Structure 1
């Protein structure tokens, strides 16, 4: 059985987005049950030099949209970073999934050994084969920020487990 770049990327990123949506729903219930303003959770961070929860979700969606749009040869949809509630983050995840699901999979899968150059930090670029870019840059970055979402919520005391992170 052979796998396509688009098939692997859409399956993995979709699983991360569904898991994040479930974790955010549980967090919203937890905050409400404990009388905590959502902004407290949304602005929580694991360490002073790390991004807060809201930014983790924004970055995860940006990586999926920008990366797969780059592979599809289209300009990425830009989502404004204005979310201030769990409901707005849920809507962002839904929109991100709609965007990446609507990309041309044939374009994403075209020339997997061909190179793609992409931004990699401040004023830097990196070039990788297209298939490697998907599996070694896009998916792991979405996964990292999904992991940070999980870790922040666990640190706050939201009752999450591995099954929640796995999106099962």
Structure 2
């Protein structure tokens, strides 16, 4: 029944991270063209109580790598959240993409009914694999990629819907 888990997890996540990378590359070009200190964009937020661009990228990649590892029955690797430049953020995306591409369909398929324990702050949430993917992982990846897009668009980076969607 769950031979679909790979198809509905890693390919859309990889697509989102690839598109996020392209969006960040446009931000680099924008900063150079407009002579804006890149840290202004990296530290930008949509609202004071929201995370900055750098944290949006970190969370999107954390959720992505955690999903692949947990669905495959592995412990998620830890990445330090120290990126403060565009090259460092791009490298983090590249490292995450390489990790995701190392997982095979055989490792992910069959995980729809697997119990997933997700440590979160002061508690652990229990999911079945499919619900973890559809109710937590995909919405979180999309949210943080969308928020990164919105931060950059709000700050004048010329982005459109196609940048979020990528090549269809």
Q: Where does structure 2 lack aligned partners over 5 or more consecutive residues? A: none
Q: Is the 8 A contact 2:3 2:109 kept in 1?
A: no
Q: Structure 1 runs of 4+ off > 4 angstroms?
A: none
**Is the deviation greater in 105-114 or in 143-152?**
105-114
Give the SS at the match of 2:77.
Answer: coil
CA contact 1:19–1:164 (8 Å) conserved in 2: yes
* CA deviation map 1:130-157 (0-9, x unaligned): 1121122111111100000000001101
How far the C-alpha of 1:167 sits from its partner, in A, is 1.8
CA contact (8 A) 1:68 1:134 kept: no
| Aligned residue in 1 for 2:163 | 164
Aligned pairs, number: 166
The unaligned stretches of length 5 or more in structure 1 are: none
Deviates more, 1:80-89 or 1:140-149: 80-89
Q: Equivalent residue for 1:116?
A: 116
8 Å CA contact retained: 2:3, 2:110:
no
| In 2, Cα distance between equivalents of 1:157 and 1:37 | 13
Instruction: Provide the rounded CA distance (Å) in 2 between the counterparts of 1:116 and 1:162.
Output: 33
Q: Verify the 8 A CA contact 1:72 1:105 in the aligned structure 2.
A: no
Equivalences for residues 95-106 of structure 1 within 5 A: 95-106=95-106
**What is the Cα-based RMSD across aligned positions, in Å?**
1.5
| 8 A contact 2:72–2:111 mirrored in 1 | no
Deviation track 1:38-64 (CA, whole Å, cap 9, x = no partner) reads 111000000111000000001000000
What is the SS of the residue equivalent to 2:116?
Answer: strand
Q: CA deviation at 1:3?
A: 5.9
Deviation at residue 114 of structure 1 after TM alignment? 3.1
Partner of 2:100: helix, strand, or coil?
Answer: helix
